Structure 1
């Protein structure tokens, strides 16, 4: 692999001249410029971006840390980040923390050492202080610290919408499948659900489930076996809702005739499963796009007009709820 020294030797110029050409700073004569361009082409030279970022204190790399790449929500979110970053001339480095604090911190340190321009992070954990103080950071989907700009969904209102839809469709005995207790969005959705059912004479059941298809299926199967009269499920993620649909199938419960189900996320697979999933859809693309634009504004030294953005979700009515039965 050719080095900057090889380019300088081939073009018969100094290394510092090649460096000025690559960084776009300082004078380089026309004859030298053409010689360097020919050398780069003939030698197939690729500049070392890390070295350039060291010398110029500039980088076109953005780090993205997500907690669970198996959950379809996060690849869709990552796609939005990547699309937006590319539009502005940045390249995304994707890291999957597997919901592990040690692994998350490792990636923070590794990305900083790679001289990324900034980091977007979706974390399960709360930090007392900014864990990355020397470069711009944006928290996506879940807040992690008051000092870090955040882009989230309005989870409380979204949960109200989902619960009220089930009630309006005639469900009277509800099972709420809440997410893990340490996730802010899970707690907010639980709050919205409880507000929605208050004073409406609804029989309510509550279980905790990870945002995973198989685990949610097992949990829902066991609970529905013991509580066969439940006629509505509101799951705090689409993955959990689809797991509940599989559990209902195993128990010979018809959806939505015997059991109505609403999810939360709006991932694409919800429109592929049978029956198609009614869900409270987050605007996943807008979440990723907004977070990326906020990060780039910070990278470019601009003042953010707002450091906390809440994006409203919307109900998508499909085939796991009854459209004809309104209370």
Structure 2
């Protein structure tokens, strides 16, 4: 493979002079520039971007760890990241993890080896404390409140909007409330915040049988509704983990000619608007944009983003 040293040797000029031509720098005469450019063209030489970036100490790449893309949380946060990255002149590398801790650790090792300038965890399973030692290799950003752990974070403040939503439900005298959540409370900040808000408003923890986890998509919502019906649980209200998920729940009841419970979604999706159901807008695109700014070093610290309960 042709290198810059080959161009220098054949052209008879120094590597530094060739480098100035390649990078369109001044201090090179027109005649020298033409001679070197001819050799570059003859050899069809293309600079090695990876080697160049490593020599500069940066790659202009940001890794984004994504467990899946089924839930609107991921699609919206990725849109925010991509828009901010494009504006800042950075590339985004999507890194699938499927919530596997060893895979997450592997991406941190890639950060240590300078595969990217920064790493954004849209969600994860490994403890946040285990990420902290890797901060010396590049920016590490999480998209939830890390509490007292010193790590960059961009996240939506769910608590106030969740409490407002549950107070709205309580005022309408619903008492058999089903909760449809993404993952278990012990590993999901979203699920934990939901349970905490519910308990604070209603004064008691939700009925365990009415709590469904692992729900991330329309089809998961459909399956959750089937579970409620098959178990004769008859919730009078279901708080869903997304408007599309609420649509899946509603479709199950309609397909089986059953009276559907009242519903609330999240993420202010088109489906929720068409159904006319209340929702919560977590502004995940803003979270994604803030996470990107942290990852490239354009900002520092922790950035909470306000979320809004939208009654309908």
TM-score tier after normalising by the smaller chain length: 0.7 to 0.9
The offset of 1:13, in angstroms, is 3.1
5+ long unaligned stretches in structure 2: none
Q: Rate the CA distance shift 1:160–1:112 in 2: closer, same or farther, 3 A.
A: same
**Residue of structure 1 in register with 2:141 after alignment:** 138
Q: Rate the CA distance shift 1:178–1:111 in 2: closer, same or farther, 3 A.
A: same
Structure 1 CA distance for aligned equivalents of residues 21 and 216 of structure 2? 51
- Is the counterpart of residue 208 in structure 1 residue 207 in structure 2? no
Q: Rate the CA distance shift 1:23–1:263 in 2: closer, same or farther, 3 A.
A: same
Which of 45-54 and 1-10 deviates more?
Answer: 1-10
Structure 1 CA distance for aligned equivalents of residues 215 and 10 of structure 2? 57
Structure 2 CA distance for aligned equivalents of residues 144 and 276 of structure 1? 36
Which one of the candidate residues 257, 262, 265 is aligned to 1:263? 265
Which one of the candidate residues 191, 196, 213 is aligned to 2:196? 191
Structure 2 CA distance for aligned equivalents of residues 251 and 285 of structure 1? 36
**Residue of structure 2 in register with 1:320 after alignment:** none
The offset of 1:91, in angstroms, is 0.9
Structure 1 CA distance for aligned equivalents of residues 256 and 203 of structure 2? 30
- Is the counterpart of residue 52 in structure 1 residue 52 in structure 2? yes
Within-5 A mapping of 1:144-223: 146-169=149-172, 171-181=174-184, 182-198=187-203, 206-213=210-217, 214-223=219-228
Please identify which structure carries the higher helix content.
Answer: 2
**Residue of structure 1 in register with 2:289 after alignment:** 289
- Is the counterpart of residue 126 in structure 1 residue 130 in structure 2? no
- Is the counterpart of residue 236 in structure 1 residue 241 in structure 2? yes
Q: Given that residues 76 and 284 in structure 2 are in contact (C-alpha distance below 8 angstroms), is that contact kept between their aligned partners in structure 1?
A: yes
Deviations 1:47-106 (A, max 9, x none): 322201221213211111112123332122112111101111111111111111112222
Q: Given that residues 121 and 138 in structure 1 are in contact (C-alpha distance below 8 angstroms), is that contact kept between their aligned partners in structure 2?
A: yes
**What secondary structure does 1:264 align onto?**
coil
**Residue of structure 1 in register with 2:305 after alignment:** 311
Structure 2 CA distance for aligned equivalents of residues 6 and 267 of structure 1? 57
The offset of 1:267, in angstroms, is 4.5
5+ long unaligned stretches in structure 1: 318-322
Q: Rate the CA distance shift 1:45–1:277 in 2: closer, same or farther, 3 A.
A: farther
Q: What's the TM-score, normalizing by structure 2?
A: 0.82
Deviations 1:12-60 (A, max 9, x none): 53333333555688x7423344555666677665432220122121321
